[in-house]
Chain A
Amino acid sequence: MKVGVVTFPGTLDDRDAARAATHAGTTAVSLWHNDADLKGVDAVILPGGFSYGDYLRCGAISRFAPVMEKIIDAANGGMPLLGICNGFQVLCEAHLLPGALTRNHELHFLCRDQKLEITNNQTAWTSSYKVGQEIVIPLKNGEGSFQCDDATLAALEGEGRIVARYVGENPNGSRNKIAGITNERGNVVGLMPHPEHAIDPLTGPTADGLAFFTSVLNAMVK
């Protein structure tokens, strides 16, 4: 299975996402922001970082990249798509996911080993987890506060589209401690914390994050 990992100018965690995809048994394929070419991949990851320096708003400029047109089409056709941190921000700016990510409520960049609860294992990226499973993966960002209007929140909760929630103190002010969400179809997932940094206890707090990358092996692509 081929998983595309997109690099925008300023993307930082692309090599880590590729490493995670490889560890999971998939083949990582590098995708350049300026090439409208998905190179036949079966799934795509938008990794973390500071694409375009977070100019204007996080992800606001990346969403218009040539590669994004192809990604949006493919996602609308059911291709699994995972946005991590900055990638989540791009997905929201591109309206593939509702809501938006804003400044952490305490204003500081925050890097910590964060406990999460997986609340939906029906998505392309969480099928290898159990519902209610608690995992610890790194959270590291300055703009991770998930915000949306009340109607959107009701829909997300009512339809079970929250994929992961922060356990314990809310680290950034996200509504309902939302750490990750999915679209109606379950193929597009946005996640603020970084599973690619928790694939090996040698370099991360746990190996709890690897299952995001193995889940996609189970996903059926239309």
Chain B
Amino acid sequence: MAKIVVDVMLKPEILDPQGVAVSAALPRLGFTFAKSVRQGKRFEIEIDGEPTPAQLAEVEKAAEKLLANPVIETFTVRVEK
């Protein structure tokens, strides 16, 4: 049993108003460490056994087609131990 994680973020040039709102809220709560904040999505996909390269390629395709909108988002795929 393994977990494949797909992280999706807006492309850097796309306005991220939620990230902006979060970075404005942090200092109001006394947290001053952040220069900037961007918000994304994380998908956790459970599969049986260990992922094969073919399966990972499939996940990439699924991410490209459904999980992310390539017009405005980028994604990464990794296996979580």
Contact = CB atoms under 8 A, between A and B. Distances in A.
A28 B63 CA distance: 37
A148 B69 contact: no
Interface residues of A, number: 20
A64 B62 CA distance: 13
Contacts of A147: 14-15, 72
Interface string B13-57: 111011001000000000000000000000000000000000000
A153 B17 CA distance: 20
A60 B66 CA distance: 7
Interface string A136-169: 0000000001011100000000000000000000
Contacts of B66: 56, 60, 64
Contact of B15 (A92, A98, A105, A149): A105
Interface in A91-121: 92-93, 98-100, 102-107
Contact of A100 (B13, B18, B21, B72): B72
B71 A99 contact: yes
Interface in A35-80: 56-57, 60, 64
B69 A98 contact: no
Contacts of A204: none
Contact of A173 (B17, B18, B71): B17
A102 B14 contact: yes
B77 interface: no
A103 B18 contact: yes
Contacts of A64: 66
B67 interface: yes
A171 B71 CA distance: 22
A64 B67 CA distance: 13
A105 B69 contact: no
A99 B13 CA distance: 13
Nearest to A150: B13
A10 to B, nearest CB: 18
Contact of A145 (B15, B21, B69): B15
A98 B69 CA distance: 12
Nearest to A101: B72
Contacts of B71: 92, 98-100, 148
Contacts of A103: 17-18
Contacts of A107: 17-18, 21
Candidate in B10, B18, B69 with the most chain A CB atoms within 10 angstroms: B69
17 contacts: A56-B66, A56-B67, A57-B69, A60-B66, A64-B66, A92-B71, A102-B15, A102-B17, A103-B18, A104-B17, A105-B17, A106-B17, A107-B17, A107-B21, A145-B15, A147-B14, A173-B15
Interface of B: 10, 13-15, 17-18, 21, 66-67, 69, 71-72
